[in-house]
Structure 1
Amino acid sequence: MTSARRVLIVDDEPDIREGVGRWLNACGYETSVAFDGDAGVAAAHATNPDAILLDVMMPRKDGLQALEELRASPDTSGIPIVMLSASLRDEQRALDAGATFFVHKPYDGKKLVAAVQSAIESS
């Protein structure tokens, strides 16, 4: 039996973390959470998740800064990262910086889970 895939959810909005977590848990994923980019980078190094869901707009260190830091580190450079944002402007910047997928807020739960699954399978 294989263990559940682990997904790190990094978002400063508690409702988003909870909602995304519920969708992923219902589909068999284990989830952990972080509330900003600094905590997300630290959690990624500590837990080595199978994928990361990363919000763009966050205090202190935003998702794009966290993405660049994760991609620059040999320990986290290969982890698939799905970016979340309500801003269409962020999509190309996130993909250019190394995001695996980009999901627009408000997100569709089924599409979000499909993006995570595709990101993990393509890694």
Structure 2
Amino acid sequence: MMRDESSPRVLYVEDEKDLREPISQMLEILGYTVDCAINGAEGVEKAKSWRPDFILMDIRMPKIDGFEATRLLRSNPSTEKIPIFILSAYDDAKTRAHCREVGADGFFSKPADIEKIDATIRRTLQIVP
């Protein structure tokens, strides 16, 4: 994990190691400081303690899923304003609607398009390339 405090901090919440590692490495190469959580409960705790600038959240995970984790983050004053984008293989109208209902700011479908994710993070955080 990169620890450059001047770069934007991205928390990636994903239970599948085969997805978590390459995406987090690509984000680091793009200049982000990345931390990961392996389930929704850990993601909520890391968001509270680490205060990332942006959260990338899977949906289907053990302990608590991405919907509930997003709901919990939105209900906490210390994390309610952090942009949360869902990254999921479940790309249908019902899933996208549920993402909006729980307070997610946006949605990416898997497989991940790292260029689109990077552009969205930069736009959301108003980072000039």
2:70 is equivalent to residue 67 of structure 1: yes
User: Once the 2 structures are TM-superposed, how far is the Cα of residue 75 of structure 1 from its aligned partner?
Assistant: 0.5
Which TM-score applies when normalising by structure 1? 0.92
* Whole-angstrom distance in 2 between the partners of 1:100 and 1:23: 22
Aligned with residue 97 of structure 1, among 102, 120, 124: 102
SS in 2 for 1:121: coil
- Map residues 15-34 of structure 1 onto 2, 5 A cutoff: 15-34=18-37
SS in 2 for 1:16: helix
- RMSD (CA atoms): 1.5
Stretches of 4+ moved more than 6 A in 1? none
* Whole-angstrom distance in 2 between the partners of 1:119 and 1:38: 25
Which TM-score applies when normalising by structure 2? 0.88
2:13 is aligned to 10
SS in 1 for 2:43: helix
**What is the number of residues matched between the two proteins?**
121
* Whole-angstrom distance in 1 between the partners of 2:126 and 2:102: 20
1:111 is aligned to 116
Deviations 1:64-83 (A, max 9, x none): 00000000000000000111
* Whole-angstrom distance in 1 between the partners of 2:76 and 2:65: 17
* Whole-angstrom distance in 1 between the partners of 2:123 and 2:26: 15
SS in 1 for 2:125: helix
User: Once the 2 structures are TM-superposed, how far is the Cα of residue 61 of structure 1 from its aligned partner?
Assistant: 0.2
- The aligned amino acid for 2:83 is P
2:52 is equivalent to residue 46 of structure 1: no
User: Once the 2 structures are TM-superposed, how far is the Cα of residue 117 of structure 1 from its aligned partner?
Assistant: 2.0
User: Once the 2 structures are TM-superposed, how far is the Cα of residue 17 of structure 1 from its aligned partner?
Assistant: 1.2
User: Once the 2 structures are TM-superposed, how far is the Cα of residue 116 of structure 1 from its aligned partner?
Assistant: 2.0
User: Once the 2 structures are TM-superposed, how far is the Cα of residue 100 of structure 1 from its aligned partner?
Assistant: 1.2
- The answer for unaligned runs of 5 or more in structure 1 is none
2:88 is aligned to 85
